[in-house]
Amino acid sequence: MKKTILVILLMAAAIIGFLTWQQGRPRPFVVSGFIEADEVRIGSRVGGRVARVLGVEGQRIRAGEPLVELDPFDWREQLAEAQAQRAAYQAEYDRIKSGYRKEEIEQARAKHDAAQAALDQAVAGPRPREIEVAREELNRARADLAFSTTEHARIAKLRESSQSSPVEYEESVRRLKTAEAAVAVAEQKLALLTEGTRKEEIASARAKASEAAQALKLLEAGYQPEVIAEAAARVDAAHARVAAIDVRLKELTVLSPCDCSVETIDLRPGDQVAAGAPAASLLDLTKVWVRAYVPEARLGQVKLDQRVVVRADSNPDEKLVGRVSFIAREAEFTPRNVQTPEERSKQAFRIKVMMETGVEKVRIGMAADVCFEEEVP
């Protein structure tokens, strides 16, 4: 009986000693966390009806590969209309920038020359020869008047002696009046030519010549800079509209922004997708990391860009390599689901360990250990 009690006491002492040694020896620096990756929720900025679904959940896709195609509706027709409007504005801008045609300028120059010639003629007045011709016409009219007066006197005398008929007398009277009128007209014509062109006619001719000169100058100078700038602005606006529609047409095909894994895509042809609404959820497999928490007492052993060993629960015997890419500057309480081999501290600092190897061997959400003291292969 005494031997049994002694054996029990020895075994208890051994157990207590082992536990005391176990607690007193230094423990390896290992923290646990979870595998994470960036979730990318992609969609179209224009929205529309789904024409084709090209992606499948769980599929690995590369950057630029299409996932969903939307029906273009009337966007192609709008693009054709915008391109035609742009061509029209471009043609109008080219016409305005090049100025008026040579034929238009020559036509304006001819009108200016004609108006200037009319002004010169009005200012110069009648030529001396025209005045001389008018004077000769007056002399001839006076001679005709003298002859008609003499002839009328002769016939009147004959009438008194009943030697001429009434018809001859009436004819002599008519010729006399005609000659008198012709003399009056010739006198007025000579007076007008001698007086010269009226001031009003010269002023009118000068105004027409000035108007023709300004019209010619306007055509030679071309369009105003403001008109050219306005036409250029219309062309720029048309280019912008075409570019905007091009962007909308490209937005009808939802492309993968990175090398990703399709997490969820719940669309079918015919579905209506709102503008900006997520069409699929992707996981960016180019950036996979372990989110873990380091106790405050161990923070001094962690450095940025430090390469460490990562062991995933799916294959704990395989050493994967990671690099510390982030250390939080603000402490926080350790999450309940994070375990450490040593006694948990009340405060810890979050870290990110980017996976450098073994990305294809882990899954998002999987638990993993970050081993700081193991040798990195």
Exposed/middle/buried for 44, CB within 10 Å: 0-12, 13-18, 19+? buried
The pairing of beta strand 60-61 with beta strand 260-264: antiparallel
Architecture of domain 25-60+266-371: Beta Barrel (2.40)
R_g (Cα) of the chain, nearest Å:
56
The DSSP annotation for 269-337 comes to: TT-EE-TT-EEEEEEEEEEEEEEEEEEGGGGGG--TT-EEEEEETTSTTSPEEEEEEEE-SS-EEPPTT
Contact 316, 8 (CB under 8 A): no
Angle at 188 between CA 187 and CA 191, to 5 degrees: 85
- Residue reference for tokens 């990703």: 260
Strand-pairing partners, residue 42, are 280
219 closest CA partner among 357, 109, 327, 111: 109
CA–CA distance, 138 with 144 (Å, rounded to integer): 10
Which among 103, 100, 38, 47 is positioned nearest to 70, based on CA atoms? 47
- Which pTM was predicted? 0.56
Total Cβ atoms within 10 A of residue 339: 14
- Rounded alpha-carbon distances, angstroms, from residue 271 to 57, 75, 130, 264: 17, 18, 96, 16
Residue 73 to residue 268: CA distance in whole angstroms: 17
Tokens of 267: 């669309």
pLDDT along the chain (377 residues), means of 10: 61 59 60 90 90 89 92 91 95 89 87 84 77 82 84 78 75 84 82 74 84 84 88 94 93 90 89 90 88 89 93 87 93 60 64 90 88 87
Give me the DSSP letters along 184-199: HHHHHHHHHHHH-S-H
Domain ranges of the chain: 25-60+266-371, 80-99+224-249, 102-221
Residue 350: which of 324, 331, 365, 325 has the closest Cα?
331
> Side chain identity at 220, as an amino acid letter?
E
With residue 41 as reference, give the H or E element that holds it. strand 30-43
Q: How far apart are CA 263 and CA 87, in angstroms?
A: 45
3-state secondary structure 149-168: HHHHHHHHHHHHCCCCCHHH
Using CB atoms within 10 Å of the CB of residue 317, give its burial: 0 to 12 exposed, 13 to 18 middle, 19+ buried.
exposed
